[in-house]
Structure 1
Amino acid sequence: MIEVENLTRRYGPYVAVDDVSFRVHPGTVTGFLGPNGAGKSTCMRMITGLTPPTSGTATVLGKPYAALGNPGRHAGVLLDASAQHNGRTGREILTLGAIMMGLDRRRVDEMLELVGLTPAESRRRLRNYSLGMRQRLGIAHALLGDPQVLILDEPANGLDPAGIRWMRSLLRGFADEGGTVLLSSHLLHEIEVVADDLVVIGRGKIVANGSKAELMSAAGTTVRSTDDARLANALEVGGFQAGPLAGGGVHTDAEPRMVGQLALEQQIALVELREAGTAGLEEMFLQLTAADAREGVAA
């Protein structure tokens, strides 16, 4: 369990994180979403004790992270895959971690195999690692102490499609066995695939928080018809938001039942009618964070 209560961080007049509260429950993957500069990384640094909060609290397994005895045995953390000594090998980094945590050295080999780093790769200096290899090593280090909680900031950066699928399976399996996962990512689709719950932050404030099913349902409806323009107009007259989709059709905040009823009244034949799903989730995300987003970026 991760509990964040009224967490705030100020830098002079600038408020990076503003009264943020949410929970991450055991057995779930919680996706932490927001554009660059929204406060995600600052919030995760406060949860892990690296940045002191101005006010509010954050606990991991009922305690502040710094108060956990041998914290790596309880909560695995990956905030920056490049924050390791470039002159050390991957194996040396994991071995030092095992020594610090009081683990059997065999755990190092288990983690290297788990994340797909070969014996030859494990003997390379970190300066010769690709970003994807650094991410795999960082995930291995986070899992080294067999923790109950994982806190991961953008772990998919640098991974190829096969690596992203592997990571998704790994995190899903960890949660299904009762683990707690807080996962920050700019890859909205990957978060949508693996997450149970979503927390969306913009300008340091929580703008959406709930189960994926609830938020996707709130994301609205996708509809295609024989006269999309007339249907969109009917929806707007009925008090709903409606806008064209790039590939044709209409996205609206009306429920599918109401869309069907209006189409019937207007005698417009429907070609497709469904909950908006991922496209609607993306649209909702962009709307909620529009004031904080940079063009082409959602991190």
Structure 2
Amino acid sequence: MITVEHLTRRYGSYVAVDDVSFEVRPGSVTGFLGPNGAGKSTCMRMICGLTPPSGGVARVLGGSYTDLPNPGRQVGVLLDAAAQHNGRTGREILSLGAILMGLPKSRVDEMLHLVGLNGDESKRRLRDYSLGMRQRLGIAHALLGDPKVLILDEPANGLDPAGIRWMRTLLRGFADEGGTVLLSSHLLHEIEVVADHFIVIGRGKIVANGPKSQLMAAAGTSVRSTDDMRLAGALQGAGFAVDGVGGAIRTDAEPAQVGRIALDQQIALIELKAAGSAGLEEMFLQLTAADAREGVAA
């Protein structure tokens, strides 16, 4: 369990995290979403005790992270895969972690096998690792102590499609066994498949917080018909918002409501479906538009 209450971080007059509150419950993967610079990493660093908050509190497993005895055995953390000693081998990194946590040497081999770093790769210096290999090693270190909670900041960076699928399977299995996962990303599609709850942050503030099913339902309906202009007018006349006439209509009406209106108007439907991930991405972009550096995408 992770509990954040009114967490705030100021740097002079700049407010990086502004009165943020949320919970991450056991048995779930919570996607922490937002554009670059939205405050995700700062928030996660405060949860892990690396950045002192200007206000509010963050609790992990009921208390401050810094008060946990042998925290690596309870909370696995990956905040920056590049923040590792370039002169050490992957095996040495994990072996040192095992010694500090009081773990048997066999745990190192288990983790190397779990993340797919073979014998030769584990003996390479980190200066010769790709970003994807560093991410795998970072995930191995986070899991080394068999923790109950995982806090991962952009763990998919540098992973190829097979690696991203592997990571999703790993994290889903961890949560299904009762673990708690807080997983940050600025790319919605990276964690849409694995996360069952989303927290969206923009300009340091929470702009959306809820189950994925609820947010995807809120994304509305996509519909194509034999007369989109007339259908759009009928939907607007019934009080529903309409967007994207021409190609496909997106509306905040539920599919059943769209179907009934089309039937009343004797308009044949070609396609009718929940907007799904496309609608969720559009909603994400709208919610975080003020914080997007490019103005159109995060």
| Residue 271 (structure 1) shift | 1.2
| Residue 290 (structure 1) shift | 1.1
Whether 1:233 aligns to 2:236 is: no
The TM-score normalised by the length of structure 2 is 0.97
- Residue of structure 2 in register with 1:260 after alignment: 259
| Residue 131 (structure 1) shift | 0.3
| Residue 293 (structure 1) shift | 1.1
Whether 1:183 aligns to 2:189 is: no
SS of the residue 1:268 aligns to: coil
CA contact (8 A) 2:198 2:209 kept: yes
- Residue of structure 1 in register with 2:293 after alignment: 294
SS of the residue 2:29 aligns to: strand
- Residue of structure 2 in register with 1:251 after alignment: 250
The TM-score normalised by the length of structure 1 is 0.96
Equivalent-residue separation in structure 2 for 1:174 and 1:67 (angstroms): 24
- Residue of structure 2 in register with 1:151 after alignment: 151
- Equivalenced residue count is 297
Deviations 1:122-172 (A, max 9, x none): 110001000000000000000000000000000001001110110000000
- One-letter amino acid matched to 1:263: A
Whether 1:43 aligns to 2:10 is: no
State the Cα RMSD in Å: 1.3
SS of the residue 1:233 aligns to: helix
Alignment of 1:82-101 (within 5 A): 82-101=82-101
- Residue of structure 2 in register with 1:279 after alignment: 278
| Residue 245 (structure 1) shift | 7.2
- Residue of structure 1 in register with 2:20 after alignment: 20
CA contact (8 A) 2:33 2:186 kept: yes
SS of the residue 1:147 aligns to: coil
Q: Which runs of 5+ in 1 are unaligned?
A: none
Distance 1:156 1:7, change over 3 A: same
SS of the residue 2:22 aligns to: strand
Deviations 1:162-190 (A, max 9, x none): 10110000000000110000001133123
Deviations 1:56-81 (A, max 9, x none): 01000001110110100000000000
SS of the residue 1:120 aligns to: helix
Q: Which runs of 5+ in 2 are unaligned?
A: none
Deviations 1:90-141 (A, max 9, x none): 1111111111111111111110000000110011000100000000000000
Equivalent-residue separation in structure 2 for 1:209 and 1:111 (angstroms): 33
| Residue 263 (structure 1) shift | 1.8
Q: Which moved more, 1:263-272 or 1:91-100?
A: 263-272
CA contact (8 A) 1:263 1:269 kept: yes
Instruction: Give every structure 1 segment of 4 or more consecutive aligned residues whose post-TM-superposition deviation is greater than 6 Å.
Output: none
Equivalent-residue separation in structure 2 for 1:160 and 1:236 (angstroms): 44
Distance 1:271 1:62, change over 3 A: same
- One-letter amino acid matched to 1:274: K
CA contact (8 A) 2:156 2:190 kept: no
| Residue 297 (structure 1) shift | 4.2
- One-letter amino acid matched to 2:280: L
Distance 1:255 1:181, change over 3 A: same
CA contact (8 A) 1:25 1:180 kept: yes
SS of the residue 1:194 aligns to: coil
Distance 1:206 1:245, change over 3 A: farther
| Residue 277 (structure 1) shift | 0.9
- One-letter amino acid matched to 2:187: L
- One-letter amino acid matched to 1:72: G
Equivalent-residue separation in structure 2 for 1:82 and 1:76 (angstroms): 16
SS of the residue 1:210 aligns to: strand
| Residue 265 (structure 1) shift | 3.0
Equivalent-residue separation in structure 1 for 2:200 and 2:232 (angstroms): 28
CA contact (8 A) 1:36 1:297 kept: no
- One-letter amino acid matched to 2:171: L
SS of the residue 1:9 aligns to: strand
- Residue of structure 2 in register with 1:207 after alignment: 207
Q: Which moved more, 1:141-150 or 1:185-194?
A: 185-194
- One-letter amino acid matched to 2:159: L
- Residue of structure 2 in register with 1:32 after alignment: 32
Equivalent-residue separation in structure 1 for 2:213 and 2:83 (angstroms): 35
- Residue of structure 2 in register with 1:140 after alignment: 140
